[in-house]
Amino acid sequence: MANIYKVFKDLIPDAPLFVGKVIAARPGHYIIQLPGGAQVTARGQAEINKMVFIKDGVIEGEAPDLTVQIIEV
């Protein structure tokens, strides 16, 4: 018999992983600018002007400071 919770959980997509530059900081929250120009707020630890990975509103870690290409499909 299949695990009903696992079947249900597999229907829900995982949160996407974004990369962006930290542009401002407030206590415990950071404003990150995404490559397309959008801004999001995330919790965690980061330094201003550093690139970070963001997933589900949480800073996952520092990202390499590379050139970002936006490709529309």
Domains of the chain: 15-62 (2.30.30.140)
pTM: 0.76
Q: 16-56 pLDDT, tens per residue?
A: 999 999 999 988 899 999 988 999 999 999 999 999 999 99
Label each residue of the chain as H, E or C: CCCHHHHHHHHCCCCCEEEEEEEEEECCEEEEECCCCCEEEEECCCCCCCEEEEECCEEEEECCCCCCCCCCC
Model confidence at 1, pLDDT cuts 50, 70, 90, reads: low
